[in-house]
Amino acid sequence: MAPLAFLLGRWLGAGVGGYPTIESFQFGQEITFGHVGKPFLSYSSRTWLLDAEGNPGRPLAMETGFWRPRPEGKLEVLLAHPTGITEIYLGEVNGTKIELSTEVVARTESAKEVTAGHRLYGLVGADLAYAFDMAAVGQSLQPHLSAQLKRA
């Protein structure tokens, strides 16, 4: 678990999102990484819309899952979304930088079409920064979200 220890705790901050099929937006986010003594981290994320002044608005996306370190810096991440999408990411941990790409994306009949994802996480000073690229609704893999979060 040592390679992922820097993630442990609760992170709060803000980010920006956009995609060719939607208008750009600002969002607030809370991410929590936990550990219960087993060889994985629990993970949860929730986001909410921010207005132009940074005030919180309606809830946006949620996801929950598990981050499973593997030998030689490898990492498996399993995520579930209440919108009917599940994802399995494979990637690598290199110091305080993590890069992940989807191995599997599965969705229910009612879920929007998501076909691939790519995520980068890392420490920037004491902050957790990330960027998320997505392929969905007929669009190729391209930037969707980015944020910078502070340890709460």
What pTM, to 2 d.p., does this model score?
0.95
Cα distance between residue 121 and residue 144, in whole Å: 14
Query: What's the average model confidence in pLDDT over 34-39?
Result: 95
pLDDT at residue 1, rounded to an integer: 86
Q: Report phi then psi at 140, rounded to 5.
A: -75, 170
pLDDT at residue 100, rounded to an integer: 98
Query: What's the average model confidence in pLDDT over 17-40?
Result: 96
Query: What's the average model confidence in pLDDT over 37-61?
Result: 96
Partners of 79 in the β-ladder: 65, 87
pLDDT tens digit sequence for 94-152: 999 999 999 999 999 999 999 999 999 999 999 999 999 999 999 999 999 999 999 99
pLDDT tens digit sequence for 43-53: 999 999 999 99
Cα distance between residue 109 and residue 3, in whole Å: 37
